[in-house]
Amino acid sequence: MTKPLRVGIAGLGNVGCGVVKILQQYPDMIAARAGRPVEIVCVSARDANKDRGIDISAYEWLDSPERMAGDPRLDVVIELMGGAEGTARNLVERCLKAGKPVITANKALLAEHGLELAAMADSSVVPLLYEAAVAGGIPIIKTLREGFAGNQINAIYGILNGTCNYILTEMRETGRAFDDVLKEAQQKGYAEADPSFDVDGIDAAHKLSILSALAFGVKPDFSKVDIQGIRHITADDIACATQLGYRIKLLGMARRVADGRIVQRMEPCLVPEHSPIGAVDGVYNAVLIEGNFVGSSLLVGRGAGEGPTASAVLSDIVDVARHLDKPLAGRPVYGIPALELEDAVWGGPEDILAHFYIRLSVLDKPGVLADVTAILRDHKISVESVIQRGRSPDQPVSIILSTHESRQSDVVAACSGIADLDLVRAEPTVMRIVQF
């Protein structure tokens, strides 16, 4: 009989329980695809007495998940605890140093410590697999590392956070304000009690950093991702974008620009409503890849949740099982050995040419528009269209400008000057317009 793959699971949240359910409900299917049975030996989580809706009585409970690193019974450890530091990091590092394969869904850990972990995996000649860390049910890691191995990747664009995409979709479809929709998302379980990680763009930026390293063969550097979340987006922005034929999406971009520099940005953007990216609504994720031979390819699917993310973990389990007797030494974490990853030259706003959306809150007084356009002129920014929403001699009104192609650094500088005008009542809202 073929030797089973014996696994330990650290973390029994939604994803961990989802993995257990699949292995319990479909053992024969998984065994057929893995080439051997998959057996859960032990599990670990914060609370041994919590009712998780699954039967884990057949598995040994470990109060300390770090014990899995030295457990000779285990062929692979599955880390589903999350977090860039603490127990999760200790467990993964100990496993790799001990020569034990690791499967993880921990995007924060990979984005912030991925280079060191990749070097450990290379040194020990064991796999560190993480399909579940980015975009859940979309097989984007395997697609980049294997499916597009014959391409030079020029750009990646992604809707990488389902919570933000749900909020922006509901704001557009219902006309409600951000705070109201966020509260509903929390009630439905789409957003955490503390939603900062999602709505401030950090979760999605972690994922973008991982994709950049894979796509461009560079050392991952989360600190070089320019991040802006969606808290400042108003119902007025949504309505104006719709009027102009666009939808607002929290969009990640990793792109090669002049002289080989790489720009990484996570920020709300306007995209054409009838574009493939514009049509991705609700909790769905999407990743658009531009390769020199394949052209543009779009992958769409559920980006989070028990089922999609557990499914991604199972794909990595099958990979390890298929190569149990000959570890995946030829499949480095980021597609090439860690020592061969390049030091990227990171670009900034001065490297980005685009059309821009600018919303101003101003007092409706003579001369205000002339003052605004004078500042734009001084920064070599040409206005394409102007929309005024509302009319009041006493209350601020919104003026919406769209620009011709301009440098993002120039637009930011101009808006800083506009914010200082006496008749301007709030910081300008600026978003790139991205054409697909």
CATH number (domain holding residue 357)? 3.30.70.260
Calculate the alpha carbon distances from 261 to 255, 337, 349, 372 in Å.
Answer: 8, 21, 12, 32
| Pair (96, 197) in one structural domain | no
What is the maximal distance between C-alpha atoms in the chain?
85
- Return the pLDDT at 304: 79
CATH number of 17's domain: 3.40.50.720
| Pair (373, 412) in one structural domain | yes
Calpha distance 78→317 (Å, rounded): 9
Q: Is 339 contained in some domain?
A: no
CA-closest candidate to residue 302, choices 65, 55, 14: 14
Q: Is 207 contained in some domain?
A: yes
| Pair (239, 321) in one structural domain | no
Tell me: the pLDDT tens digits for 158-194? 999 999 999 999 999 999 999 999 999 888 878 888 8
| Pair (209, 229) in one structural domain | yes
Q: Is 428 contained in some domain?
A: yes
Tell me: the pLDDT tens digits for 308-324? 999 999 999 999 999 87
CATH number of 231's domain: 3.30.360.10
| Pair (190, 209) in one structural domain | yes
Q: How confident is the model at residue 306 (pLDDT cuts 50, 70, 90)?
A: confident
H-helix or E-strand spanning residue 182? helix 178-187
Q: Is 342 contained in some domain?
A: no
Q: Is 345 contained in some domain?
A: no
| Percent of all residues in the chain with a pLDDT value above 70, rounded to a whole number | 98
How large is the C-alpha radius of gyration of the chain?
A: 24
- Which domain range does residue 24 map to? 5-132+306-333
- Return the pLDDT at 2: 83
Which DSSP state fits 20?
Answer: H
Calpha distance 106→332 (Å, rounded): 17
Instruction: Examine the fold and report which residue of 262, 282, 302 is the final residue of a domain before the chain moves on.
Output: 302
Q: Which of 3, 21, 142, 207 is catalytic?
A: 207
| Pair (191, 314) in one structural domain | no
| Pair (357, 214) in one structural domain | no
pLDDT at 434 over 80: yes
pTM for the structure as a whole: 0.93
Calpha distance 338→121 (Å, rounded): 9
Give how many domains the chain has, as a whole number.
Answer: 3
- Return the pLDDT at 387: 87
| Pair (12, 59) in one structural domain | yes
Q: Is 338 contained in some domain?
A: no
| Pair (145, 273) in one structural domain | yes
97 is catalytic: no
Q: How confident is the model at residue 330 (pLDDT cuts 50, 70, 90)?
A: low
| Pair (110, 36) in one structural domain | yes
Q: Is 101 contained in some domain?
A: yes
> What contacts 223, CB < 8 A, 6 or more positions away?
none
| Pair (77, 180) in one structural domain | no
| Pair (14, 116) in one structural domain | yes
pLDDT at 156 over 90: yes
Q: Is 343 contained in some domain?
A: no
For range 364-381, the mean pLDDT: 92
